[in-house]
């Protein structure tokens, strides 16, 4: 185990240090791995790659080898990049893949089992990031994950309860049953969880690189398992998968630069729309607790979700310029149309589906040279498709992020359009929204979250708390959240977000409400006067810390 950085982080947490680096993740071993890589002189990309593989071992609920994600990188010189390693629809995917004979969607088919699996991009993505920007040898970055898989780690309360609550369907899968339900009982708190098969797989990837996920025994085994389980993956899908380097979605906000995710994420467009809609309104003056702020923000997010669902998808599917959606005249007219004490109902009515749980994970890294990584990675549903690859890792069910039948709801209640229809080779529309905020030419915050569509509103609210309401980093993270996404129409709120008077006011506007236990699991890093402050979401038992980065700048302040 790698304890030194954690101790160091306690000592350095609030000190201004030359070349200080920081890491925030949802899992303590993964954070320690990231800090250790920084302490060895790795850069932010190195630490991110090591964290990504560590999470595949210690956070199997969402951390992954069988999934994909987005990595936003701003290098020490201030150039920014967006690496899309999201899953892709297999070549054999067709628009009726998840429809019954009468043309109705079969939800289960796109959510559970091999048919729900998209071509994973995690290993090609990490490999590509390393080839472009890595500093330490690839092999050094995967070693900690391999050791964690071989030596094992103690199952925590969160993992045990997730397995109990969401992992039951994995009992149907022979490999998953053996790994997560040894002797027929689910892993319990404090069980030593060793994953020799996964250690072997990571060892192979460590030695042979991306080719392990492109062709050869592992790919053949996965394709055979997929065929046996009714899936459509073929060897060519793995050979042909390529991560995409895309232009960062960046925009100005109140004197800052926001670096965010482009399509196939809805993140950048969503944030730009909502932040522009709020500009010039009394939103800040009303204050965080005023029902008018809550209602106006909810109306703005609801309108942005309407656009998201109607217009967005893989950029290759669009027949218009997505910049039209952030046209200032268009958004000014929206601003004028929204009220702070009125409620705009959705254009149609559908039953509200049960809300899915957090199934994605986000981590943030900065290094001693001021480079930053904001990375959100996912299996989509909890434990993805609830099937495991013969290499000992969980496979995604990202195909459910497509609109199985445009106009009907997916597991998050999102009703999406033809632009997000199932098409071979396309990537499904995402809500994952890694963000880096730049102020005075320097990274000021690195933010992201899991939570399906609530990612968008969670990230947004941390930014508003920090920059519009001038809260401290801790208060910005702790501030209770709410979520509104057009359909379902409720303001979904954390208990502490709304007191009785606020609820009464919102109801008097006509706004339906719904209680949610927690929204988001944000892992963020903020610049403060005394150095980087890495914070894991106080709602959960995540982990964050700072460390002296041995390859440092000369300036004595974080860059």
Task: Give catalytic residue positions.
Answer: 360
Among 75, 159, 257, 401, indicate the residue that binds ligand GLY (CB under 6 A).
401
**Neighbour-count burial for 502-519, b at 16+ CB within 10 Å, e otherwise:** bbebbeebebeeeebebb
C-beta of residue 386 within 8 angstroms of C-beta of residue 176: yes
Cα–Cα dist 245/102, whole Å: 40
> Candidates 8-16, 43-51, 214-222, 428-436 — which segment interacts with ligand GLY by CB under 6 A?
428-436
Cβ partners under 8 Å of residue 550, min gap 6: 19, 38, 39, 40, 41, 368
Among 273, 301, 380, 410, indicate the residue that binds ligand GLY (CB under 6 A).
380
293 or 523: whose CB is closer to ligand GLY?
523
Q: How many CB atoms lie within 10 A of CB 439?
A: 14
Among 366, 432, 487, 498, indicate the residue that binds ligand GLY (CB under 6 A).
432
C-beta of residue 404 within 8 angstroms of C-beta of residue 99: yes
Among 17, 360, 364, 559, indicate the residue that binds ligand GLY (CB under 6 A).
360
Among 313, 452, 473, 520, indicate the residue that binds ligand GLY (CB under 6 A).
452
Residue 380 Cβ, how far from ligand GLY at the closest point, in Å?
4
Query: Which candidate, 364, 388, 386, places its Cα nearest to that of 376?
Result: 364
> Candidates 1-9, 44-52, 140-148, 430-438 — which segment interacts with ligand GLY by CB under 6 A?
430-438
59 or 193: whose CB is closer to ligand GLY?
59
> Candidates 53-61, 117-125, 424-432, 517-525 — which segment interacts with ligand GLY by CB under 6 A?
424-432
CA distances from 398 to 113, 148, 270, 273, 344 (A): 11, 26, 21, 26, 31
Residue 505 Cβ, how far from ligand GLY at the closest point, in Å?
31
Interface of this chain with ligand GLY, residues 90 to 149, rule: CB under 6 A? none
Residue 305 Cβ, how far from ligand GLY at the closest point, in Å?
13
Residue 374 binds ligand GLY, judged by CB under 6 A: no
Query: Is the preceding omega at residue 469 within 30 degrees of 0, hence cis?
Result: no
Q: Phi and psi of 460, rounded to 5°?
A: -55, -45
Paired residues of 518 in beta bridges: none
21 or 406: whose CB is closer to ligand GLY?
406
Residue 386 Cβ, how far from ligand GLY at the closest point, in Å?
15
∠ CA(113), CA(242), CA(85), 5° rounding?
65
Among 226, 430, 523, 559, indicate the residue that binds ligand GLY (CB under 6 A).
430
The two beta strands, 80-85 and 153-154, are: unpaired
Interface of this chain with ligand GLY, residues 482 to 541, rule: CB under 6 A? none
Beta strands in 146-186 (DSSP E): 153-154
22 or 404: whose CB is closer to ligand GLY?
404
Residue 420 Cβ, how far from ligand GLY at the closest point, in Å?
11
Residue 70 Cβ, how far from ligand GLY at the closest point, in Å?
9
Among 214, 317, 378, 476, indicate the residue that binds ligand GLY (CB under 6 A).
378
> Candidates 50-58, 74-82, 142-150, 429-437 — which segment interacts with ligand GLY by CB under 6 A?
429-437
∠ CA(92), CA(97), CA(101), 5° rounding?
135
Would you call 367 helix, strand, or coil by DSSP?
A: coil
Query: Which residues contact ligand GLY (rule: CB under 6 A)?
Result: 360, 378, 380, 401, 430-432, 452
């Amino acid at each position: 185990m790698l304890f030194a950085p954690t101790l160091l982080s306690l000592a350095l947490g609030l000190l201004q240090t030359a070349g200080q680096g920081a890491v925030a993740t949802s899992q303590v071993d993964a954070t320690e791995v990231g800090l250790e890589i920084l302490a060895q002189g790795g850069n932010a990309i190195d630490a991110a790659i090591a964290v990504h593989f560590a999470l595949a071992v210690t956070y199997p609920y969402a951390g992954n080898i069988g999934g994909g994600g987005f990595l936003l990188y701003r290098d020490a010189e201030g150039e920014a990049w967006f690496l899309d390693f999201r899953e892709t629809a297999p070549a054999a995917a067709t628009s009726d893949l998840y429809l019954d004979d009468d043309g109705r969607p079969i939800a289960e088919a796109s959510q559970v089992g091999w048919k729900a699996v998209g071509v994973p991009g995690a290993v090609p993505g990490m490999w590509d990031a390393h080839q472009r920007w890595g500093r330490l040898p690839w092999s050094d970055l995967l070693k900690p994950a391999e050791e964690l898989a071989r030596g094992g780690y103690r199952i925590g309360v969160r993992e045990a309860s997730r397995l109990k609550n969401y992992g039951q369907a994995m009992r149907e899968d022979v490999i998953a049953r053996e790994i997560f339900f040894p002797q027929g009982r689910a892993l319990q708190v404090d069980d030593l969880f060793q994953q020799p098969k996964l250690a072997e797989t990571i060892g192979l990837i460590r030695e042979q690189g991306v080719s392990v996920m492109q062709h050869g025994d592992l790919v053949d085994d996965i394709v055979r398992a997929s065929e046996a389980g009714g899936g459509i993956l073929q060897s060519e899908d793995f050979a042909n998968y390529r991560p995409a380097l895309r232009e960062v979605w960046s925009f100005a906000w109140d004197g800052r630069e926001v670096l965010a995710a482009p399509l196939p994420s809805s993140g950048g467009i969503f944030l730009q729309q909502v932040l522009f809609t709020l500009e010039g309104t009394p939103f800040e003056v009303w204050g965080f607790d005023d029902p008018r702020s809550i209602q106006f923000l909810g109306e703005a997010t609801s309108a942005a979700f309407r656009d998201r669902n109607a217009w967005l998808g893989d950029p290759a599917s669009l027949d218009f310029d997505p910049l039209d959606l952030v046209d200032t005249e268009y958004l000014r007219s929206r601003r004028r149309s929204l009220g702070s004490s009125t409620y705009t109902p959705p254009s149609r009515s559908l039953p509200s589906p049960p809300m899915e749980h957090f199934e994605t994970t986000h981590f943030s890294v900065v290094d001693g040279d001021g480079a930053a990584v904001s990375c959100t990675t996912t299996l989509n549903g909890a434990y993805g498709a609830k099937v495991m690859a013969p290499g000992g890792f969980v496979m995604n069910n990202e195909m459910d992020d497509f609109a199985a039948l445009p106009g009907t709801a997916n597991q998050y209640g999102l009703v999406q359009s033809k632009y997000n229809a199932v098409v071979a080779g396309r990537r499904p529309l995402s809500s994952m929204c890694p963000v880096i905020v730049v102020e005075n030419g320097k990274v000021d915050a690195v933010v992201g979250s899991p939570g399906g569509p609530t990612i968008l509103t969670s990230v947004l609210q941390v930014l508003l708390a920090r920059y519009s309401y001038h809260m401290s980093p801790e208060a910005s993270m702790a501030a209770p959240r709410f979520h509104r996404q057009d359909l379902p129409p409720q303001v979904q709120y954390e208990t502490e977000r709304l007191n009785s008077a606020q609820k009464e006011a919102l109801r008097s506007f006509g706004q339906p409400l719904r209680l949610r236990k927690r929204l988001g699991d944000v892992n963020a890093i903020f610049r403060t006067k005394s150095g980087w402050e890495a914070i894991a979401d106080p709602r959960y038992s995540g982990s964050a810390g700072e460390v002296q980065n041995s390859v440092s700048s000369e300036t004595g302040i974080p860059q």
